[in-house]
Amino acid sequence: MNTGRRRPLSLSNLRAFEAVARRLSFSDAAEELFVTQSAISRQIKSLEDELGTPLFVRGTRHVEMTQDAQILLRTVEPWLARLDAGVRQIREKHSRQRVSVTTFASFASLWLLPRIEAFQRAHPDIDIRVSAHDSLADLDDPELDLALRYCSPAQAPAGAVRLFGETLTPAVSRQLMAQIRDGQAPPLARPADLAQHTLAEEDDNKASTEYLSWRHWLAQQGEPALQPRRWLYLNFTYQQVQAALAGQGVALARVALVYEALARGELVEPFGLAGRTTSPYAYWLIAPPASRLRPEVRQFCEWVQAQAELTRAATGEAAAS
């Protein structure tokens, strides 16, 4: 019995053959497969020896397939495609899942990162990649799955899910409040008393800064001309919060991002609920439909929305529409 006809063909030789047949070029096939042209030539010669027939007619500047090569290609092309699809499916099944999130730095520091450990405990097989920067990232980027953003309803793209709105409140550290009560620091019982304190101000030129500024809050409180003891200008919201926690001044804090610090007593609202104001801006979850098809992205989105519901309840906000 002739066992040569039953001997399996080399997979690497078949891949070399498919690349040459598709591109009709030994050099292009070599470049695609990251091997030398001589290696491709040896693989094709080996395959021709195994089959007992030539597969290509090599001209000076061109390559042509023989009739036998055309028969082989019709079999090899779909077979390799099915093989690659099966291998890819197995690799994806056993590889770690990952969700890539883009958001702005203050939201990542004050809201997302303190909560994310709970998600990872519940989903230990999903890795989270957080890209925190204030420039808007393009969600067409294949490396990004979803965005957590802060904008007005008019700026929110179609399909965006509103997480919670914006409420602002003056906040100081527990230590500074204790000093005020003991008479070791100037009083802080009414907005006019801010003239004796340092105000931490967000130093930014974004449109939303109008609503985040002390000038806006003071105007609403009937003190538009008030000048504090000094200004402390900072780039990011989380820096203002850090300054307040360190007792360096009064921050105009975003309640949704600091309500846990308020609940623990680390931060104190000197004017209570009467000092709270709102803005037309809100926080949004933006996930392209294609991303939501992936189970790990869908699970993360559902978790974010559940956490947002807790935030709305804790800050006294009605359910998002």
Q: What pLDDT does 319 receive? A: 45
Domains of the chain: 3-94 (1.10.10.10), 97-321 (3.40.190.290)
For the chain, the average pLDDT equals 89
Write out pLDDT tens, residues 258-292.
999 999 999 999 999 999 999 999 999 999 888 88
Number of CB atoms found within 10 A of residue 135's CB: 7
Measured in degrees and rounded to the nearest 5, phi and psi for residue 127 equal: -95, 145
Number of CB atoms found within 10 A of residue 292's CB: 16
The dihedral built from the CA positions of residue 259, 262, 268 and 270, taken in this order, carries a sign that is positive
Look at the block and give the residue holding tokens 């093989």. Answer: 83
Q: What pLDDT does 139 receive? A: 59
Q: What pLDDT does 314 receive? A: 93
Residue stretches of the chain with pLDDT short of 50:
1-4, 319-321
Q: What pLDDT does 321 receive? A: 40
Q: What pLDDT does 208 receive? A: 74
- Burial of residue 51 (CB within 10 Å: 0-12, 13-18, 19+) is middle
Q: What pLDDT does 1 receive? A: 41
Q: What pLDDT does 93 receive? A: 58
Answer yes or no: are the C-beta atoms of 200 and 250 closer than 8 Å: yes
Answer yes or no: are the C-beta atoms of 191 and 226 closer than 8 Å: yes
**What stretch of H or E contains 128?**
strand 126-132
pTM for this predicted structure: 0.68
Q: What pLDDT does 191 receive? A: 96
Answer yes or no: are the C-beta atoms of 256 and 166 closer than 8 Å: yes
Q: Which long-range contacts (CB under 8 A, 24 or more apart) does 207-210 make?
A: 208/150, 208/151, 208/152, 208/279, 208/281
From 244, 300, 259, select the one nearest 98 (Cα to Cα): 300
Residue 165, strand partner residues: 282
Cα separation, 305 vs 258, in Å, equals: 18
From 271, 241, 235, select the one nearest 254 (Cα to Cα): 241
CA angle 173, 259, 270 (to 5 degrees): 40
- Please provide the DSSP assignment of 249-301 as one string: -EEEEEHHHHHHHHHHTSEE-TTGGGG-EEEEEEEEEE--HHHHTSHHHHHHH
